[in-house]
Structure 1
C-alpha cells in the first residue's frame, strides 16, 4: 500500500526528529519505505539515517559549531536568502533534495561528505565537497557559488557533514537510497502525453507555464523550466535524472504513484522546455555539443530539435536573471 500517510510519517520524522529516525528504529524506517513501494536494502548496502537538528542540540558539540551547522541548514532550506548574490532563480537546495537533504531516493546529500574528494565525470577532475556544492550553485541555482572557505560555504559544508555523522569515509558498501534511481527507459517517449500528465499531476503546484509558485518573494514550489529554473547544465536536465526524481518523489507526498512510462513522459516534456544557457556554452551550440554532447548532454535534449515546433533547444544566449554566463569558480583542475 503506497499510502500518502506513510510518506508523511517518513518525511515528518526526517524533518522533525520524531518517531523512526533514531538509530535503533532502522527496521521501522525500512518498513515504512518498503510500505511506500521502495525496495528494501540489499545485504551489502549501507543504510544510514541522518541525524537531525534535535540530535544536534542534544549533542556535546561546541556551541559555535552547532550554530554554524544550524546556519548551513538554514541556507540549505532557504537558499533564496542568497538571491541576487549567489542564487539567480527560484530554487532552494531542498527543492530537489527533499526532507532537508535527508530523504532517501531524493539524492540525500550526506553521501557527498563521505565520498569526496572524488573524481567527477561532469568536470573530469577530482572534486572536494566545496566544489561539489559550488556546482549546484552554478547549475541548479543558475548562480555564483559562495567563495571557497567563506562563512556560507563552510556552513553549508558543515551541514552536509553533520548529516553524515557516524559514516566512515569512502564507505565500501553502496549507499541505500542514493541519488534519483530511475526506472528503465521505455522504448518510446511522448511529448503530448507528458504535457497532459504534467497538467494533470504537476501544474497545480508548478503552474501550467512551468513557472512555479512564489508568495511574498519566497519560493513555495519551484519552476521546472524558464528563467526562474535551473540552467541547461544542471543535472536534472538529463532525462534519466528527471525521470528518477519524478518517479520516486512526485507528485509531492505520493511517491511511486506514477507508472515508469508516465514518469519518463513527464521528464521528456519538462526537459523539452527552455531554460537559461549552460554556463559552459562556448557561444555556439554545435561547438558546445562537440565538447559535452558525448558525456553530460548525451542524456539531455540540449541542442536537439523540438518536434512540436522545430525549435533547437538551448540555441540562445539567454542567461536568465543573471548578467554573466560562467562564474569564475568553474575552471579546470590539473593538480600539476
Structure 2
C-alpha cells in the first residue's frame, strides 16, 4: 500500500511539473529556459558494441543507479544521475561530456592537480558518502568509458557552454532559513519529503534524499550554499527549471544545507577544527549554530 501511494505521488508530481509550465501562480511570467549548449552528446543508438561498448553501458548503469551497480563504494542512496541529470547529458547540470574534457586540472579543494578519475573518486567519497574506487577498478573504468563516450568530438580543454551549473549572482537579501523553509514546503517537499529523506517506490529511489543519513555528506560540494543554489535554480523543481527566482534558490539552498547529514570524511575529531581546515567559507554552514544546534556535531 505504501509503495502504491509513493508511485501515485510520483505520477502526480510529474503531471504537475508539466502543467506548471502552462500557468504559474500569481500571474508570474514563465522563466526562460537556459540557452541550449552548443554540444550534443551521442544518442543511445550510437553506443558502441563489443568490449568497449560493454564498459560504456556498465558506466551508464552505474551512473543512473549507483547503489545498485556499485554498492561496495556507496554509503547512501544517491546516484550520480541525481546531481548530473539525464544520465550526465543535460547542459547546465554539470554534464559529464563537459567535465571529461576539462581534466586534468588543479582543484583548490585538495590543492593538487586531479585527473578525471581522481575527480570521480572524490564524488564517491563525498557525494556518495562512500569510499573511492581504485582507479583501475571495473567501476572506475566503466564510468570513465561512459564519460569519454559522451564527450565524443568535444574539444579537449575548451570551456564548453553548459558546463557545471550557471553561477547565480549574489542575492539581494542574505539567504534566509525561514524563507527557504517556505520555498521548500511549497516546491520541494512533495518529491523530497518534508523530512528531506526523499521518496521511493517498489524498492527504488524515485527522488533523492537532500539531508539525513541517505544524503550527501558535509564534504560534498552541495553542502555549500552557493553550489546548491546554482544547481537548484538551473534544474529544480524537476520539470520546472528556472521557475524559482534567484533569491528563492539561495533561500531554499540555505534551508537544505542547514540540516544535518553524514559527517565530513576529513573530520579531525573536532567540528571547530574541521571547519577551520576545510569549511572556512561563509557559504558553508558546517560548524555553525542553527536553531541552537551546531551543524556537524551530531552528523549522521
TM over 0.5: yes
Given that 1:50 and 1:102 are in contact with CA atoms closer than 8 Å, whether structure 2 keeps it comes out as: yes
**Other-structure match for 2:32:** 37
Q: 1:218 to 1:287 in 2, by over 3 A?
A: same
- Greater shift in the superposed pair: 82-91 or 276-285: 82-91
Match of 1:238 in 2: 224
- Which residue does 1:175 correspond to in 2? 160
Task: State the shift of 1:148 in Å.
Answer: 1.4
Return the alpha-carbon distance in structure 1 between the equivalents of residues 257 and 192 of structure 2: 14
For the residues of structure 1 that align with 2:296 and 2:156, how far apart are their CA atoms?
A: 39
| Residue pairs, 1:1-336, within 5 angstroms | 37-40=32-35, 47-56=38-47, 61=48, 63-82=50-69, 84-171=71-158, 174-186=159-171, 187-294=173-280, 297-306=281-290, 309-316=291-298, 318=299, 320=300
Q: Aligned residue for 2:12?
A: none
Could you report, residue by residue, the CA deviation over 1:81-100 in whole angstroms, capped at 9, with x for unpaired residues?
Answer: 14651111110100111011
CA contact under 8 A between 2:70 and 2:139: conserved in structure 1? no
- 2:31–2:243 Cα contact (<8 Å) kept: no
Normalised by the length of structure 1, the TM-score is 0.77
SS of residue in 2 equivalent to 1:247 = helix
Q: Distance in 1 between matches of 2:234 and 2:49?
A: 37
CA RMSD in angstroms comes to 2.2
Number of aligned residue pairs: give it: 276
Superposition TM-score, scaled by structure 2 size: 0.86
CA contact 2:167–2:230 (8 Å) conserved in 1 = yes
What SS does the corresponding residue of 2:169 show, helix, strand or coil? coil
Per-residue deviation, residues 204-231 of structure 1 (Å, max 9, x unmatched): 1100000001223321100000001000
What's the offset of the Cα at 1:239?
A: 0.7
Please state how far the C-alpha of 1:157 moved relative to its aligned partner: 0.6
Task: Return 5+ residue gaps in structure 1 as ranges.
Answer: 9-34, 321-336
Change (3 A) 1:82 1:282: farther
Give a deviation string over 1:188-218, Cα, whole Å, max 9, x none.
Answer: 2221111111111111110000000122332
Which ranges in structure 2 are unaligned for 5 or more consecutive residues? Answer: 1-16, 22-29
